[in-house]
Structures are given as C-alpha cells and as structure tokens.
Structure 1
Amino acid sequence: MIRHTTDLETIMPAVSRLIAALLCLLPGLLSAAEPLKVGVTEVPPFVMQTGEGDWEGISMDLWAAIGARLDRDYEVVALPFQDLLAQVESGDIDVAVGALTMTADRETRFDFSHPFYQTGLSIGLPRAPEQSLLGSLKSLLSWQFVSVVAALAGVLLVVGVILWLFERKRNPEQFGGSTAEGVGSGFWWAAVTMTTVGYGDKAPVSFVGRLIGLIWMFAGLIMVASFTAAITSALTVSNLQNQIQGPQNLPGHTVATIANTASEAYLKDLRIQYRTYPNLTEAMLSVADGDTDAIVYDRALMQYRNLQLPGERLTILPGVFDRQLYALALPQGSELRGPVSEQVLKVTESPDWSRIVSRYLGRDE
C-alpha cells in the first residue's frame, strides 16, 4: 500500500506537465485549423468587389496566389480603412490586403511584408487639343481676340473722328462730304498710318491735324506691337494650358487632389494652391472641365480611373515623384510575416505578375 502511494506521487507530476503542455499547444492547433481573416478596403484597382460579391484587383490577385502557395484557407472581411488599420494593430485580422503605403509611423503599430508595388504621385492634365489650321482659326474667334479687335477699331474710330473735325473745313477734298464719308476717311487714314502703310491718298493739312498725325504715328507703333502680341497669345493659348511638365511647374496653378491623402500633404508642404474633392472621379473631372489646371494623386489609382472616365480622358505625365511602397500588413510579431514575405517575392518575380498589373492598368508598369 505504501509502495503504491509512492508510485502515484511519482507519476502525477509528469501527467500534470503533459496536460499543461497539451493545453498550451491547443490554441495553436485550433488557430491553425481556423481560416485566416483577411481584411480589405475597396480601393480600385487594387481591391474591388464584383457584382457577384467576389473580390478582384492587383492586391487580391496577389493574395489569392499567396494563399494558394501557403495552402491556407481564408475569409475576406471588408472594413472601412481606419477600422482596417486598427484591427491589424489589435490582431483581430491576420493580414490586411489593399493599397497600404509603408511608413515609419505604421511600422511602429504593425508589421509589413516585403513590398509588392512601387508607386508615387503623378500629374494629370487636360488632353491637349491637336494643333491644326482649324484649331488656329478657332483660337482667332476666341472672346479675347475679338475683344482686342473691337477695342482697336474703337481707337481708330476716335482718332478718325478727331482728325475729321479739324480737317473737314481746311481739307474738304480729302475729309469732306457727308458726316459718314468724312468719318470714314478719318478712320481710313488712322488705319493706314498706324500700320505704317501710308498710301498717301489722304493727309492732314492743318497744324492741329498734322500734330494729331505725328502723335498718332508714334502711338501706332505701340498699337501694332500690342495687337501682334494679342494675336500671338490667342494662337498659343492652348499650348500655355499645358506648360506643366513636372512638379516644378505646379506653383502658380490650381491643383485638384483628395483630402487627407499623401498628395494633399505634398501640395501643402510645397504651398501649392489646391482644391480637395471627395473622390478621385470628381477631382479628375474638375481638370477635364477646366475648373482646375491639373491633378496630383497616386499614379496607379489615377491611371486606372482614367480608363473609366467618360469622353476625353486626361493626359497623365510620365514618371512619378514622392515615391511610395505598397505592402501587406500583419500584426506585430505575426508568425505569418516570414512565409507571406517569401511568397510575395516569389509571386512578384514570376511572369504572371506583369500580366496581373497590366490587366488592371491597361499596360505594363
């Protein structure tokens, strides 16, 4: 009896340790069997929901390939953007898939996988009209040009009337006749004198008339120069609209963007005048309609949305600035970080990746 008690006392601690070890392993075994929770926020073309309720996009196609390689089941959880970040930080979701920019602030809150997409800000401009003879003629019919011509005609008429008043009695052969004929002769003289053509068919003979002629000759030089500048401005106004060739040309223009984004922060830091819009479509349409001169936003998102715009699309300048990296986000210390990062590299280095990107952006990036 005493020996039996001694054996139990010896065995029980070992059994207790075994049970404790199994209890520690149980959560891990259960979690391994549970599907991963994949948080998403719709942001075309990286994350989009189809009419059938399925998910597609650059990031979703990437994750589908990663999930297949990891041989893990997963469920997609749609969340608002701020909730998505919060639940990654708390560990309520296992991985966040979307267009998440890697930043130092976010790195302190959760972990990132290897980046899968490099992007940055780009500039969108109104589509430049084709240069042609018809386009030049349309420019000549602009309100700016017509108003200059009307003002010039008014000045010629005033000078012609003044000269006629002093010459109609002293020089009736050239400026006589009815009022309309006399004023017409004065208008003709003012025009040929201003253009320095000087046909010589009409000339003032009175002292005041010749003094007016002398003053008008010098004033005509200025008038011709101003008129030439007005014509040049009218013919090149379409080219002036597209003087923006890069971010260095943005000061002095009104730029459209989206509130609370990296693009707004960029414009604010450089003190560039801008207007914010609630969504990308409205911002791009403001440029197409001429309400703003350009738009600054994420290149990939703007490039995709440009394909959806009705009518005239914008011209998106080549190249990016203020570069950004997109990555998948995981809770800090997640055991998935290593395997997921490894698969991100394998997928993005495969030939399928360029086809995935071009499928949504219209061309290889």
Structure 2
Amino acid sequence: MLKKLLSRSRTALAAAALSATMIGGAAAADIAVATDTAFVPFEFSKDGEYVGFDIDMIDELTKRIGITYELKPMDFNGIIPALQTGNIDMAIAGMTIKAEREKAIDFSHPYYNTSVLMMVRSETDDINAPEDMKGKIVAVKTGTTSVDIAKKFGAGEIKQFPNIDGAYLEVRSGNADVTLYDAPNILYYIKTAGGDAMKAVGPEMEAQTYGMAFPAGSELREKFNIALLEIIEDGTYAKIYKKWFGKDPS
C-alpha cells in the first residue's frame, strides 16, 4: 500500500504542497493531538514521558510541516467523538482505517500495516484457531476490531475493557479464556510482561492498516499526507520503524 502511494508523481506532490502552503495560516497554529497512551509500543508512558512509535512519528511529521502540537491522552473510545466535536485537531493512536469510521472522520494515508492475534495462558491447549473461540469467554478492548472478530467466531461471552491491560489480566487470572488484539501489542506483552505465563496462538487475522485521524474535511489531512510520503521516501520512516520493531518495514 505504501509503495503504491510513493508511486505518485512528484508533480502531484508539488501541487499538493503548493495547496498546503496556501492554507498554511490554519496549520501554523499549535494543534491538539489525541492518543491512547496504553498501546505499547506505539504510545505509552515511560519515566514520566510519553514515548513510542506513534510519538516519534508525530514529532517528525509536525516538525516537517512546521507546527507544534500538544498531546491529549484519552480513552480510545472517546477519540472519534472528540474529533467530531472539534475538541482535538487530529489523533494518532494505532487506529485501524475502517469504512464505518470513515463515515464520521477522515484518515491519512496508511502508516502501518498490522493484523490481530490471539493470546491465551500457556497451559491452554484447546484454543489454536479462531474457530476455537466459539462458546469461550473472550476479553477484548472496547471499540476495537477485536470485538467484531470475537462476535464473528461465536464467542460465548465477550468481556470488554477500556484498556487492553484489563483484558490481558482477565485471561492471565483465569477469568477469560482468550484475548485478541493487534499483533505488535500482543507480542510485546508476551516479551516484556507475559513471561512463561502467556502465549500467542493461531494465525494472524484481519490484515489492516493504521491511519492518522482528522475531523471530516480537515485541511491538516493533506499536510500530514505529504509529510508522511516525504519521510517514507527519504528513509526517516524506516529508521523510526526499526527503532521500535527491530526490523525494516516490509
């Protein structure tokens, strides 16, 4: 997807940049950027500061555009309403681009490709495929793609939590059978906190892409699209990606 976007002509980029310059008055002011700071390794608190892949991305993109921003941590489920009411100017929060969401807000070009993965206790041996969720207790984060997947595969009970940490704890404590969430976060949890107690199972599901979110019709969207293409083209994106995921982007 990203390679296709880069195939756009430099002429088109130049025209878009000119258009962005013409509306520069609106973008020159500081902006409020929402994020859900409990989504490692994309955004999380460490030593009193917010860090992560998304934080490095918004730092670099706003610098390219020439604006400053204020980070507005909030519950993931409140981000779209905040965009709709104008309480924030944009969001970068590992938000999946979905047709349903695009009815209410605008998305940037995709900036990350991902999928959903299941996680169970290490001793669990009867959940190895999505179909094995049928009749089981599934813990998920409210408002995410995982809710739809759990319904699709016939979960017996779906326990929803405002933060994914709550869903993980529910499985680890034995009060739920399985959780599912974005693969990078699942794998990071197993590596850093899950230890020998948790394991990932089954195939990666529901290939999806993340996008930055904007109020419908926002003039900022095109500015960030141009800046995103620039950092992909000059290698800055790859450096940020490798810093957080330990490999080059595909």
Q: TM-score range by the shorter chain?
A: 0.7 to 0.9
The partner residue of 1:34 within 4, 21, 29 is: 29
The partner residue of 1:126 within 109, 121, 128 is: 121
Q: TM-score, normalised by structure 1?
A: 0.53
Provide the residue aligned with 1:340 in structure 2.
Answer: 224
Provide the residue aligned with 2:90 in structure 1.
Answer: 95
Shift of 1:66: 0.9
CA distance in 2, matches of 1:260, 1:30: 35
SS in 2 for 1:113: strand
The partner residue of 1:242 within 125, 130, 133 is: 125
CA distance in 2, matches of 1:103, 1:33: 29
Shift of 1:256: 3.2
The partner residue of 2:44 within 48, 58, 61 is: 48
More helix by share: 1
* Cα distance change of structure 1 residues 349 and 302 upon mapping to structure 2, 3 Å threshold: farther
- Identity of counterpart residues, as a percentage? 25
* Cα distance change of structure 1 residues 294 and 110 upon mapping to structure 2, 3 Å threshold: closer
CA distance in 1, matches of 2:194, 2:180: 20
| Gaps in structure 2 of 5+ consecutive residues | 1-22
Matched residue type, 2:205:
F
Contact in 1 for aligned 2:137/2:177 (Cα 8 Å): yes
Provide the residue aligned with 1:64 in structure 2.
Answer: 59
* Cα distance change of structure 1 residues 341 and 30 upon mapping to structure 2, 3 Å threshold: closer
CA distance in 1, matches of 2:220, 2:35: 17
Residue 101 of structure 2 corresponds to residue 106 of structure 1: yes
Matched residue type, 1:333:
G
Contact in 1 for aligned 2:118/2:179 (Cα 8 Å): yes
Shift of 1:253: 4.2
CA distance in 2, matches of 1:80, 1:282: 13
CA distance in 1, matches of 2:235, 2:202: 24
Shift of 1:42: 1.8
CA distance in 1, matches of 2:175, 2:72: 38
1:198-277 map, 5 Å: 241-251=124-134, 253-276=136-159
* Cα distance change of structure 1 residues 110 and 283 upon mapping to structure 2, 3 Å threshold: closer
CA distance in 2, matches of 1:56, 1:346: 22
Q: TM-score, normalised by structure 2?
A: 0.73
The partner residue of 2:204 within 320, 324, 333 is: 320
* Cα distance change of structure 1 residues 71 and 358 upon mapping to structure 2, 3 Å threshold: same
More strand by share: 2
Provide the residue aligned with 1:75 in structure 2.
Answer: 70
Contact in 2 for aligned 1:243/1:249 (Cα 8 Å): yes
Over alpha carbons, which structure has the higher Rg? Answer: 1
Shift of 1:295: 2.1
* Cα distance change of structure 1 residues 256 and 328 upon mapping to structure 2, 3 Å threshold: same
Contact in 2 for aligned 1:277/1:283 (Cα 8 Å): yes
Provide the residue aligned with 1:302 in structure 2.
Answer: 186
